[in-house]
Structure 1
């Protein structure tokens, strides 16, 4: 009879998460800029149709980072990955990926769309100038399940960055201590 140590259990969880996340590129498919832009367009259309008040939020923003698909998986240790485009004036100006590493009491996998609205020119400039921007305390978060209405307080607050997460699929249970990092993809034609 084989017995497992806590270390072996933790390593198997980490290995399982790595295997789950290794399929992210296959889930995202061909991620050339034109294909990614098409996914960004579809994500924005879905968000505007489902949460109509986000149109005014987009109109007031100086830019939006649109990540059409973020995939997360975890069993104790977990992580996530996604790619997207920074839109300024309705045009994709740069491409980014996001990575997330977390630990805590968690199990499962899920996918969702994520949009960051930069509400001030300073917030957008700082994001673009950073070498790996991390989600911080100056971000107002809004997570929506199907059927929820967009909160008026979220659309009128003075946060420099507002984060919208919607279109969740899958199930991930538990509490995590997480860090999400956004990095510019260079060169964009090779992702």
Structure 2
């Protein structure tokens, strides 16, 4: 029989409350909710970073994660849900999850979009059991997306990641090491 201390019970309840309060869509289900968030996210991206429209036009698909919540205190993690768009329509839905350990403290939320620039990269993503973002992703935006050109970035990588809309008290957002898994909303 396992004995739980009062401290471990309180820590567990507190962690559950933090994740519930994050507003990252864990409790909202349905493709219509995810699609509405994806539409708003893409509108914000293309309005604030006009150079990303060129990426959209040259890509064969986009994985849009409208809201990813990341938190850490020594051990950390992130979670979000989004949609894969091909030809402007949602064809699949995915969750993203990441775990980390190390010197970290704080929480933040951000959005990200993966632009698949080749049919092969899109096919590899869709056929995988769980695709992990690695060092082969080229990051297109830091602060000045309007200066970006798809001609130069597509030569570097078949998948281009755009992280934007960071808010919170944790420095830096990265999607490297994030695992994407197909879900049924």
Classify the TM-score, shorter chain: 0.7 to 0.9
1:136: how far off?
A: 1.3
1:110-149 Cα shifts (integer Å, max 9, x gaps) = 000110000000000000000110011221023534xx34
The two structures have a TM-score, normalised by structure 2, of: 0.83
1:156: how far off?
A: 2.1
**Runs of 4+ residues deviating >6 angstroms:** none
Query: Are the equivalent residues in 1 in contact too, given 2:166–2:173 (CA < 8 A)?
Result: no
| 1: CA distance, partners of 2:114 / 2:98 | 15
122, 126, 138: which one aligns with 1:124 = 122
Give aligned pairs, total. 173
What's the C-alpha RMSD, in Å, of the aligned pairs? 2.7
Query: Are the equivalent residues in 2 in contact too, given 1:79–1:100 (CA < 8 A)?
Result: yes
Matches within 5 A, 1:10-159: 18-19=15-16, 22-23=19-20, 26-28=23-25, 30-145=28-143, 148-152=144-148, 156-157=152-153, 158=155, 159=157
Residues 39 and 110 of structure 1: CA distance in aligned 2, closer, same or farther (over 3 Å): same
Query: Are the equivalent residues in 2 in contact too, given 1:21–1:81 (CA < 8 A)?
Result: no
SS in 2 for 1:23: helix
- Report which stretch shifted further, 92-101 or 132-141: 132-141
| 2: CA distance, partners of 1:154 / 1:17 | 44
Query: Are the equivalent residues in 2 in contact too, given 1:48–1:54 (CA < 8 A)?
Result: yes
- Going by fraction, where is strand more abundant, 1 or 2? 1
Q: Where do 5+ consecutive residues of structure 1 fail to align?
A: 1-10
Q: Where do 5+ consecutive residues of structure 2 fail to align?
A: 1-7
